[in-house]
Amino acid sequence: MPKSTSKKTPNSGSVTQLQTKRSQPDPPAPEPGRDRYDDRTRQPGLEAPELHVHHLFGILARRWVLIVATVLFGAFLAGAATTLIPPKFTARAQIVVEPERAESIGTAAVRPASVDASAIDTQITMLAARNHLRTVLASLADDPAFTGNAPEQQSSPASATPTQSGTTIRMPDIFAELQNTAKGALAYVRKRIGQETGLPDFHEFERTLRIDQERQSRIISVRYTSKSAVQAATAANRVVELYVGAQAQKLRQAAQSELAALDIQIAKTESALETAEANIQQKLAITDYTATGQSETAPLRKLQREVTETAQLYVTLLARQKQLRSQQGTTETSVRVLALAEPPGRPSSADAKYFVLPAIILSLIGGSILAVTRERFDRTLRSERQVHGALGIPYSALVPKLSWIHKFRPHDYLLRKPFSPYAEAYRSIWASLQFAAQQQPLQIVLVSSSVRGEGRTTLATSLATYAAQSLQRVVLIDLDFRHPAVAPALKLEANNGLLDLIQTDCPVDDIVQHVPELKLDVLTVSGYSIDPVAIFADGKLHNTLQELRNHYDLIVIDGPPLLGVAEAGLLASLADTVLFAVKWGVTRSDVAQNAVRELQTLGWSDRTIAERVRAVVTHVNLKRHASYKYGDAVELLVRRGNNSGPTQAAPALKTDNLKKLTDQSDGSEPTVRVAAE
């Protein structure tokens, strides 16, 4: 293959000469405290723009996916709450406090007495007493209907089918089984989150029970809230029934105790009465009081008075005994049940489905706030103004993001769609490089980035492919020893061709891999086969690149990222220019600034960096980029439609023709961007 006739001035020799290379006066030092790569907010294009209404709507339009996802998540949570959070029911039972009645014996009238507020407060306090509530809870624990442990009903004989052996097997209904499984799963979830209905503990029972006076009346309401309507009614009724029953039981016990005491007292009174009558008869038999004086009859009159008093007491006791026995079957307490609770038909708590719409509205508001917040705190690079303001280096082009079908072979897409926005981007990069070649030779182009995954290899392979269609000879070199990616991208054999060229005297044409369909030569590496810094120390890599200058018109190097790789800065010093890949919407400004700052450690000034480093924004989502309203060519391209143009091969653009075009310009660098031609 013929060599290029044009000779390029080689770079200086080895690593020891890197510090004195291209010595030139540095620009004036920046003001104290103002470092281009330290203070992002002081660079033009990086300040957060003042938020206007149209900016707000633009943010919401760009972040619609986040907003919709937030709304769907909120609706899902509301729906889950509707399913998992059961409604609560409140049942009410009522008792009335009866006024005390004046007791009467015989047919005397009964006059009702009034009930003061203290008596009602006393009844409420007794109803809410812990001893009484523990009794109620113990009674409910023995009620299978309340605890949900009611025995299952036996299946009817019709649901079983006899087999040939005489035994019976069940014929389960598939729908019933699925329904039971779903109910069991829902019950398990509710049990895990503490929402399963059953016997509550004492504190929960006390907390969900309310005992209040109905306005200024003598009626006391007992309310109980539960997730089951039957449980709520059962608990409220049990509270009032046990309380009224306990009051009646106390009255019956008091009546029985009084009857027992009356029986004893009646027996004693009857015995005393009989004794007194016997004494009177005895004295009458011994002494004739008709002939005696009044003084001698005084003891007899005393005994007669005692008999009369004892007889009256005896009659009173018998009347009281009769009254108590007549009241044993109809014991009236000071309180009685006015109305028992019935299972409520409607829940007392708000229906959970009514929270779905407010949840959606709140999620919409929250998603919008989150979208605006993320946009305002977004520090990734997208536009030309942002890149230049953060890094202070020229901006070459926006490289569109390819669909997943074409992203595995972007260089093939470049050839098949020569007038697509993707091809226009590399045409812009190539034109800017050719214009910069007027001031200094640009034969070795290093493609680097801040970190991995920013489109560095795709940029290198596509640029080399485009240049190979115009120039006579182009070589693509993979110098990322840690993660070589050129061979997999071009589907070539990963060998140590570059190391063989450095360490042996073999001809270049015998070592490089030729890719005829791309008109491209490739030198690959296979990974960690040698210390990368070692090939810089003895100048062998520099000498190899000088030899390649004599064989090729353009050398494109796919280098390692600048951050975290020791040889990246040394490799940049051997290149004529550096294409710095910035991934659209991913690369943060501080990360890119730190990467460019690595070049300052080699003694590069801001002016040198601005002359030798160019930024290329990769993986650009054209529609999203246009939504930011930067006013660049991408917005015009999207408005006109993403037309890929004709599919026939584009005519080769010769270097001499391009140089003639640039020679006729006014000397300023052309602004070539992605555009629909």
Model pLDDT for residues 492-509, shown as the tens digit of each residue = 887 767 777 777 777 777
Identify the helix (H) or strand (E) that includes residue 238. Answer: helix 229-286
DSSP strand pairing (474-478 vs 554-558):
parallel
Question: What are the pLDDT digits (tens) for 61-98?
Answer: 888 899 999 999 988 888 887 777 778 899 999 999 88
Out of 230-244, 408-422, 563-577, the most confident range is: 230-244
Question: What are the pLDDT digits (tens) for 477-496?
Answer: 988 888 888 888 888 887 76
Mean pLDDT along residues 333-345: 88
Q: pLDDT band at residue 200, thresholds of 50, 70 and 90? A: confident
The CATH superfamily label for domain 381-663 reads P-loop containing nucleotide triphosphate hydrolases (3.40.50.300)
At 583, phi and psi to the nearest 5? Answer: -80, 125
Q: How many residues does the chain have?
A: 677
Mean pLDDT along residues 188-200: 57
Q: pLDDT band at residue 557, thresholds of 50, 70 and 90? A: very high
In 391-480, beta strands by DSSP E:
395-400, 444-449, 474-478
CA angle 657, 5, 476 (to 5 degrees): 80
Fill in the amino acid letter for 95. Answer: I
CA-nearest of 129, 100, 117, 118 to 211 is: 129
Specify burial of residue 579 (Cβ count, 10 A radius: 0-12, 13-18, 19+).
Answer: buried
Question: What are the pLDDT digits (tens) for 267-284?
Answer: 888 888 888 788 777 777
State yes or no: pLDDT of 133 exceeds 60.
yes
pLDDT recorded at residue 47: 54
State yes or no: pLDDT of 159 exceeds 50.
no
State yes or no: pLDDT of 555 exceeds 90.
yes
pLDDT recorded at residue 197: 52
Percent of the chain beyond pLDDT 70? Answer: 74
pLDDT recorded at residue 223: 94
pLDDT recorded at residue 463: 92
Question: What are the pLDDT digits (tens) for 32-56?
Answer: 334 444 444 444 445 555 667 777 8
Which phi-psi region, left, alpha or beta, contains residue 199 (left: φ > 0; alpha: ψ -120 to 50)?
A: beta
User: Rounded to whole angstroms, what are the CA distances from 79 to 84, 351, 362, 368, 446?
Assistant: 9, 12, 14, 21, 55
State yes or no: pLDDT of 410 exceeds 60.
yes
Fill in the amino acid letter for 393. Answer: I
Q: Which has the higher per-residue pLDDT, 5 or 375?
A: 375
DSSP strand pairing (577-583 vs 89-97):
unpaired
CA angle 130, 135, 138 (to 5 degrees): 120
Sequence-ordered list of residues with C-beta below 8 angstroms from that of 645, at least 6 positions apart, any chain: 417, 418, 419, 420, 676, 677
| pTM of the predicted structure, to 2 decimals | 0.59
CATH number of 89-99+117-142+183-339: 3.30.1890
Rounded Cα gap, residues 613 and 46, in angstroms: 20
Q: Which has the higher per-residue pLDDT, 407 or 435?
A: 435
> Would you list the domain boundaries of the chain?
49-87+349-378, 89-99+117-142+183-339, 381-663
Question: What are the pLDDT digits (tens) for 645-656?
Answer: 444 444 444 444
Yes or no: say if 11 and 542 are a contact pair by the CB < 8 Å rule. Answer: yes
State yes or no: pLDDT of 19 exceeds 60.
no
Question: What are the pLDDT digits (tens) for 166-175?
Answer: 444 444 556 5
Average pLDDT of the residues of the chain: 76
User: Rounded to whole angstroms, what are the CA distances from 174 to 162, 180, 181, 417, 549?
Assistant: 19, 10, 11, 59, 79
